[in-house]
Amino acid sequence: MLNRRNFLKTGLMTGAAVIPTSVGLDALDPVSTLSAEGNVAPSSSVSKPKLIPLPPRLASIDQRTQSWQQKIRRVGQTNMTEHDPAVMNIEEWADYWHNAEADIVFISVTGILAFYPSKVQFHRHGKFLQGRDFFGECVAAAKKRNMRVVGRMSPDLNWGDALEAHPEWAMRHLDGSVQFSEEEPRLFKTCMFSTYMDDYVPAIMREVNSLYDVDCFYTNGWPPIGSLPNCHCAICSKLPTAGTPAYWRVFNDRVFDLWQKYDAIAKEKKPDSFFFANLGGNVRGGPNLDRLGKIAAWFQADNQGRTYDDPAVWGCTLQSRVCNAVLDGKFAANVTAAYSTGAVTWRNASKNPAEANMWLNETLAGGMVPYYHFVGAENGFGEDRRWQKVGTDYFRWTAQHDAHLATRRSIANVGVVMGQSTQLLYPGPTTMRSRAYMHETTQGIYDALLRGRFAFDFVHEDRLEPEHLSRYRALLLPNIAMLSDRQCQQIRDYVGSGGSIMASFETALYDENLNQRAGFGLADLLGINKAGDVIGTTGNAYYARIESQHPILDGFSNTNWLPGAQNRIPLKPLQNPVLTVVPGFVRYPPELAYPPAPHTDEPAVVLRELGYSRTAYFPGDIERSYWLTGHGDLLRLLHNTIRWIMHDEFIVHVQGEGFVEMLSWETTPGYSIHLLNYTNPNTHHGWLQATYPLGPQTIRMKLPPGVSVKSVELLRAGQSVPFALKKQMLQLTIPRIEDYEVAAITVS
């Protein structure tokens, strides 16, 4: 394999973008970091970051070769209820979405209740349909206004008459009883392995294709998002045990086969039609997202708003990074609920405008197309109409800037491995056994990366080939417990070519079948040897004793100890450790709150330099412990370690006060830098009630050779700003950020 350091210096290209080696910028100020109190302050002990040049720009796009969905910029949906045919003003509905400049609308078909006079057996007509072709009228109204149409289906539930005729269609509990909807017990849950999916769903698709001019088909509620089915019907009882790696493989084969079958049916009428399905769930999506990403024409991210499971405000951008990890630039849309989401739900009441706007902001910043959605049309077009102005204003604003908001390639030099199998199948360490474990781990590393203002992408575990990894200076593995031998070798190859990694806790301790290895799959690379099983916390968590100075300890003074983590795997001793473990001890009674063994030779971090590569391994679940505690020492330690393995190389540097998420993109006109202002008392709980503006944010980036800047425009503020360009180093300042700002850079 070509040595990475030489590879980067040459700037050669082999498929993916390759970033030349770093160039120092003496005038660059120290990066801003968060202190333990959460305030932003420059860390004087941290070395100055070095800006590396952006990769050469992509070749121009021939618009004539793009598929129609790649030109979609706004998506609208009024999720129709059984009562809507009796009350909805179709012309008013169509005028709203047309005036909001929506390019395409979802219209319900659906599969649970027919919104047209369907002749498919068991496709029940709604009681207010009364023979009317409500779906057809909506399609005609949308087409008259030059809006495309998605035929929205719901194959996940059906009624008692279907169950009586086809008992084999139902999902079953372990005792053989039928699984019914928790909210509406008249509806039973359909089994995706039954002929319901092979016969009933295709019959509806073919009927719709024969009657209407729809542009594509979508299934809501299937495949399941965030979890796997747990069915014990006659078919499923013969499959591998639910929730196991073997079951996941069978599940993925079934999803893949049905997806291709439905796509072929969609194309029977129009070759440019297609099928797509609900692929939300973030890093814990149900089906293998890499596999579907290769065939999906439209990635539908169902991330409608914050819930009690995801209290942090960045749930939508986290979803966008999942899309970017598997789509290779293809189309992705994220649905923003205009209605109230959360533990207590009012699905027909409008969400706070500040919260809805932020979710739309995140959709755009993450490179997805905004998709706005409300439920029902009581009283003509809604009893609660407050959501409508939010959608119209936002969509019309985006329509003014489509060229700058359509993204081509992410600008990032840190990759975070997205272990989808670990998220779905790994139950957590023996001390915890909680499937929420990886959710907390992911939130911890995400929060830390945002606070350090790192430019990062997610990298799917099934995309660890050089063409996907060569663009990244460093790769992070936050407790990616399940890795195959092949994936471990791919990571070794990455480090062998000059890349750096940071790993934690049980990374590579399990293979792809969730079989525990005797030692770590990356033990040779990380220089570690397991000395025992996981040790948890019963009182005081363990501490890390400072043994020697190192850049990862910059900013720590007047202490011999640092917090460790809640759980750790004990390691065999190493020579000259930077940090050693002080084992946990009681926290109460305070008379006994001291360490029986204040000094050990067990390493609390293992650092290695292998040529130009650097590796760092934390035996504790540091990312998760940071998320649970918010401890500033853990945050600083993570920041310092990431910067150390990166050689302090930044590809985009943003300096200023506040808690900001930054996403950077190459666009057709040039570049766009998106800054999302999360400095808000409701960042981690509840909804945003108001905006708390930030002051100046200075952006620096080094452009490729031969690229010059024509203008810089702030899209939300609606104004141009001055900039400086010297020796390809671009600097500009955004004077103020409300909730969101986009610096649109036009180049020549």
**CA 39/CA 653 separation, integer angstroms:** 19
List of residues 6+ apart from 254 with CB closer than 8 A: 192, 193
Residue 172: pLDDT over 50:
yes
Supply the pLDDT for residue 380: 67
SS3 percent helix, strand, coil of the chain, rounded to 5, is 30, 25, 50
100 in Cβ contact with 396 (< 8 Å): yes
- Check the CA dihedral 490-495-496-497 and report its sign: positive
pTM for this predicted structure = 0.93
Pair 525, 569 in one domain: yes
State whether residue 14 is helix, strand or coil. Answer: strand
Pair 266, 350 in one domain: yes
Give the chain's domain count: 3
Pair 673, 600 in one domain: no
Residue 30: pLDDT over 60:
no
Domain assignment present for residue 624? The answer is yes
Per residue in 233-253, pLDDT tens? Answer: 999 999 999 999 999 999 999
Tokens of 444: 């911890």
Per residue in 248-264, pLDDT tens? Answer: 999 999 999 999 999 99
Domain assignment present for residue 473? The answer is yes
Look up residue 28 and give its amino acid: L
Domain assignment present for residue 383? The answer is yes
**CA 743/CA 442 separation, integer angstroms:** 28
Angle of CA points 279, 284, 286, to nearest 5° = 50
Of the ranges 376-390, 475-489, 494-508, which one carries the lowest mean pLDDT score? 376-390
**CA 384/CA 348 separation, integer angstroms:** 7
What are the backbone dihedrals phi and psi of residue 384, each rounded to the nearest 5 degrees, phi first?
A: -105, 105
Q: How far is CA 585 from CA 98, 354, 560, 632, 633, in A?
A: 65, 46, 17, 22, 20
Supply the pLDDT for residue 11: 34
398 in Cβ contact with 405 (< 8 Å): yes
| Largest distance between two CA atoms of the chain | 81
State whether residue 596 is helix, strand or coil. Answer: coil
Token pair 């474990």 in the structure block, residue:
437
**CA 543/CA 525 separation, integer angstroms:** 25
Supply the pLDDT for residue 436: 87
When pLDDT is cut at 50, 70 and 90, the band that residue 366 belongs to is very high
Rounded mean pLDDT, 60-65: 86
Supply the pLDDT for residue 379: 66
Domain assignment present for residue 151? The answer is yes
Q: What is the DSSP string of 134-182?
A: HHHHHHHHHHHTT-EEEEEE--SEE-HHHHHH-GGGB-B-TTSPBPB-S
Last residue of a domain, one of 623, 650, 677: 650
Residue 384: pLDDT over 50:
yes
Domain assignment present for residue 30? The answer is no
User: Angle between the 632-645 and 437-451 helix axes, to the nearest 10 degrees?
Assistant: 70
Q: What is the DSSP string of 15-31?
A: SB--PPPPB--TTPPPP
**CA 158/CA 189 separation, integer angstroms:** 7
Domain assignment present for residue 506? The answer is yes
- From 47, 49, 5, 50, select the one nearest 24 (Cα to Cα): 50
Look up residue 624 and give its amino acid: R
Q: How far is CA 579 from CA 408, 519, 523, 540, 558, in A?
A: 43, 22, 19, 18, 15
Rounded mean pLDDT, 386-398: 96
Pair 573, 587 in one domain: yes
Domain assignment present for residue 279? The answer is yes
Output the domain CATH number for residue 698: 2.60.40.1180
When pLDDT is cut at 50, 70 and 90, the band that residue 42 belongs to is very low
Pair 358, 223 in one domain: yes
Output the domain CATH number for residue 72: 3.20.20.80
The whole domain housing 679 covers 653-747
Please tell me which residue, 181 or 31, carries the higher pLDDT value.
Answer: 181
Find the length of the chain. Answer: 748
Rounded mean pLDDT, 549-570: 97
When pLDDT is cut at 50, 70 and 90, the band that residue 54 belongs to is very high
- From 469, 509, 510, 472, select the one nearest 491 (Cα to Cα): 469
Last residue of a domain, one of 650, 672, 705: 650
Residue 28: pLDDT over 90:
no
Please tell me which residue, 170 or 308, carries the higher pLDDT value.
Answer: 170
When pLDDT is cut at 50, 70 and 90, the band that residue 226 belongs to is confident
Pair 142, 259 in one domain: yes
**CA 519/CA 533 separation, integer angstroms:** 10
**CA 228/CA 387 separation, integer angstroms:** 33
H/E element, 677: strand 670-677
Rounded mean pLDDT, 659-670: 98
Rounded mean pLDDT, 483-509: 98
Pair 575, 693 in one domain: no
Per residue in 278-318, pLDDT tens? Answer: 998 888 889 999 999 999 999 999 889 987 677 789 999 99
Pair 492, 617 in one domain: yes
Rounded mean pLDDT, 522-545: 96
Pair 627, 670 in one domain: no
**Burial class of residue 87 (count of CB atoms within 10 Å of its CB; 0-12, 13-18, 19+):** middle
Contacts by 132-138, CB closer than 8 A, 24 or more apart: 132/85, 134/80, 134/84, 134/85, 134/88, 135/107, 135/108, 135/109, 135/208, 135/212, 136/211, 136/212, 137/90, 138/90, 138/93, 138/94, 138/107
**CA 715/CA 674 separation, integer angstroms:** 10
Of the ranges 20-24, 482-486, 515-519, 713-717, which one carries the lowest mean pLDDT score? 20-24
User: Angle between the 201-211 and 245-266 helix axes, to the nearest 10 degrees?
Assistant: 20
Supply the pLDDT for residue 49: 86
Per residue in 596-642, pLDDT tens? Answer: 888 999 999 999 999 999 999 999 999 999 999 999 999 999 999 99
> How many CB atoms sit inside 10 A of residue 467's CB?
12
**CA 205/CA 216 separation, integer angstroms:** 10
Supply the pLDDT for residue 10: 33
Pair 357, 495 in one domain: no
User: For strand 369-375 and strand 75-79, is the pairing parallel, antiparallel, or unpaired?
Assistant: parallel
Domain assignment present for residue 134? The answer is yes
State whether residue 125 is helix, strand or coil. Answer: strand
When pLDDT is cut at 50, 70 and 90, the band that residue 383 belongs to is confident
Pair 641, 661 in one domain: no
Output the domain CATH number for residue 461: 3.40.50.880
When pLDDT is cut at 50, 70 and 90, the band that residue 36 belongs to is very low
Per residue in 76-108, pLDDT tens? Answer: 999 999 999 999 999 999 999 999 999 999 999
Pair 605, 698 in one domain: no
Residue 23: pLDDT over 60:
no
User: For strand 660-667 and strand 407-410, is the pairing parallel, antiparallel, or unpaired?
Assistant: antiparallel
Angle of CA points 537, 538, 540, to nearest 5° = 70
Q: Alpha helix locations (H) across 328-411?
A: 353-365, 386-399, 402-405
Supply the pLDDT for residue 381: 76
Last residue of a domain, one of 625, 650, 675: 650
What are the backbone dihedrals phi and psi of residue 168, each rounded to the nearest 5 degrees, phi first?
A: -75, -10
336 in Cβ contact with 363 (< 8 Å): yes
- From 665, 743, 666, 729, select the one nearest 697 (Cα to Cα): 743
When pLDDT is cut at 50, 70 and 90, the band that residue 21 belongs to is very low
Of the ranges 339-343, 448-452, 595-599, which one carries the lowest mean pLDDT score? 339-343
Q: In whole angstroms, how large is the CA radius of gyration of the chain?
A: 27
